[in-house]
Amino acid sequence: MPRWRTLGAASLALIAAGCAPLPPHHPPRAHTRAAAAGCQVGTAWSTAYARTRILGQLAPGQLRVLHYHLSVHPGRGEPCGSLVLTKNLALQRGPGPLHIVEVRNFYTHGRLVADHRGFIGREITTSGIYQARVTLPIPQQAPPGRYDVVSLLYARWGHGSPALIARASTTFRIAP
Domain limits, the chain: 11-174
Please tell me the predicted confidence (pLDDT) of residue 14.
30
Please tell me the predicted confidence (pLDDT) of residue 47.
65
- Global pTM value: 0.69
CATH number of 11-174: 2.60.40.2550
Please tell me the predicted confidence (pLDDT) of residue 77.
93
- Please enumerate in sequence order all residues whose Cβ is within 8 A of that of 35, keeping only pairs 6 or more positions apart, or say none: none
Q: For the chain, what is the radius of gyration of the CA atoms?
A: 17
Nearest to 115 by CA among 27, 21, 24, 15: 27
Please tell me the predicted confidence (pLDDT) of residue 171.
97
Kindly list the averaged pLDDT for each block of 10 residues, start to end, along the chain of length 176: 30 32 36 35 54 76 92 94 95 88 94 93 89 92 94 90 95 93
